[in-house]
Amino acid sequence: MTTPIIHMENIKKHYGNVIALNGVTFDLMPGECHCLLGDNGAGKSTFIKTMSGVHQPTEGSITFEGKPLSFQSPREAMEAGIATVFQDLAMIPLMSVTRNFFMGREPTKGWGPFKRFDIDKANEITMVEMRKMGINLRAPDQAVGTLSGGERQTVAIARAVYFGAKVLILDEPTSALGVRQTSNVLATINRVRAQGIGVVFISHNVRHAMAVGDRFTVLNRGQTLGTARKGDINAAQLQDLMAGGQELAVLEGSLGGTI
């Protein structure tokens, strides 16, 4: 396919006199991992919340699967197939993996007053879906709080994929993880892409982005500094863009090269 799943054109977002986004253009192809990079305050969070229906753009257009769309709420975006995995993961540590996996979407059996949660079906699906993502749970009733950070990320990703995500937005998924857990999450992202799902990978870690990314867009103060394909830019150049290389060079010169 050559048509993007989602295309956002000249997106602007103002909060009164504050300009959070100032003309950002971004698109995502099926099976692609498009990394959105930027330092704190660059506008990454505002942009993904605009993409996922939390905020409405002040200006600009959003096209989803070739059709103009305007999401009025996160639920509308989710129903269309845009799922977001935020840093807090929206999970309850003391509840089981199965309960967290199906929270609000529980399969049922029976009818009328006899309708109840089909725990056996839910447990089976949870184990199968987690195994697809490379995680072998001890048991489906294992508390989420006993999982590692990387495993919890995988639960959230597997949940989004199972419920029909076409676009998966990952907000700093490796920011608080160790090396091994980060490796597991990056492997999970590759498994998701292999299913034709587009992944938006938000990060300020260039090395993690370079490991899985196909394209890289850098945000700085609400504007894009450009988009590059893998192979056309290296980690040092990306880091330089993120950090404002020209500004640092001027500062280093004024300080006598002490940075």
CB 31, CB 198: distance < 8 Å: yes
φ and ψ at residue 229, rounded to 5 degrees: -90, 155
Containing structural domain, residue 232 = 6-92+165-254
Within a domain: 115: no
Within a domain: 238: yes
* pLDDT tens per residue across span 169-180: 999 888 878 888
82-85 and 198-203: which strand pairing?
unpaired
* pLDDT tens per residue across span 186-205: 999 999 999 999 999 998 88
Number of domains making up the chain:
1
* pLDDT tens per residue across span 37-85: 988 888 888 998 999 989 889 999 999 998 898 888 888 888 899 999 9
Within a domain: 111: no
The number of beta carbons lying within 10 Å of the beta carbon of residue 121 is 15
CATH number at residue 62: 3.40.50.300
Choose between 247 and 90: higher pLDDT: 90
Within a domain: 138: no
Within a domain: 146: no
Within a domain: 135: no
Within a domain: 152: no
Q: How do the residues of the chain divide into helix, strand and coil, expressed in percent and rounded to 5?
A: 35, 25, 35
Instruction: Please list, in sequence order, all residues whose beta carbon lies within 8 angstroms of the beta carbon of residue 171, skipping any fewer than 6 positions away.
Output: 45, 48, 84, 85, 86, 87, 202
pTM for this predicted structure = 0.87
Within a domain: 106: no
**Closest C-alpha among 219, 228, 240, 204 to residue 21:** 219
